[in-house]
């Protein structure tokens, strides 16, 4: 069961409001200049009977600069995306859609995981995190016996 969280509700409200204004060509957050790191990295979360699987897109991010933490049923991916190497100091930007800077993405996991067995790997800008479910979160079949 999920508890009500005021901050999560306010973030959802802000996302919905941004989506409304984005649809009419206006935007009320820093996303207009490409600096919105609130949804970075983009990720997928799926599960099977044994584990949860997170795939996060981290193009241009050095895996050594990424920190992954699990606390309870919360996964946090944090790091820093460096600025472009193509003359960032000279000239004038006309469009900048690839944000740079520090990022942190926190995801509430649907079940508890065994933090000691979490594995992560990165290849070609894709981070894969395997989070084995805790024993209490795994489905257990109960055999029915005759009386």
Positions of CATH 2.60.40.790 in the chain:
41-83+99-135
State the pLDDT at residue 43: 92
Tell me which of 69 and 8 has the higher pLDDT. Answer: 69
Q: How far apart are CA 105 and CA 107, in angstroms?
A: 7
Query: Residue 69: pLDDT band by 50, 70, 90 thresholds?
Result: very high
Query: Residue 138: pLDDT band by 50, 70, 90 thresholds?
Result: confident
State the pLDDT at residue 2: 62
State the pLDDT at residue 140: 79
H, E, C per residue of the chain: CCCCCHHHHHHHHHHHHHHHHHHCCCCCCHHHHCCCCCCCCCEEEEECCCEEEEEEECCCCCHHHEEEEEECCEEEEEEEECCCCCCCCCCCCCCCCCCCEEEEEEEECCCCECHHHCEEEEECCEEEEEEEECHHHCCCCCCCCCC
State the pLDDT at residue 93: 72
Query: Residue 38: pLDDT band by 50, 70, 90 thresholds?
Result: low
Residue 78 reports pLDDT greater than 60: yes
Query: Residue 86: pLDDT band by 50, 70, 90 thresholds?
Result: low
Residue 30 reports pLDDT greater than 50: no
Just give the CATH number of 41-83+99-135.
Answer: 2.60.40.790
Tell me which of 90 and 112 has the higher pLDDT. Answer: 112
Residue 36 reports pLDDT greater than 60: no
Give the mean pLDDT of 16-27.
65
């Amino acid at each position: 069961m999920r508890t009500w969280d005021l901050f999560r509700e306010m973030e959802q409200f802000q996302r919905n409001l941004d989506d409304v204004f984005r649809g009419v060509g206006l935007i009320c957050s820093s996303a207009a200049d490409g600096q919105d790191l609130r949804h970075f990295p983009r990720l997928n979360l799926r599960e099977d009977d044994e584990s949860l699987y997170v795939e996060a897109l981290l193009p241009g991010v050095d895996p050594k600069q990424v920190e992954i933490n699990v606390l309870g049923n919360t996964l946090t991916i944090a790091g820093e995306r460096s600025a472009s190497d193509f003359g960032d100091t000279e000239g004038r930007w006309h469009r900048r859609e690839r944000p740079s800077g520090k990022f942190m993405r926190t995801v509430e996991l649907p079940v508890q995981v065994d933090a000691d067995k979490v594995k992560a790997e990165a290849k070609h800008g894709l981070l894969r995190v395997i989070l084995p479910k805790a024993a209490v979160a795994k489905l257990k079949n109960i055999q029915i016996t005759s009386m």
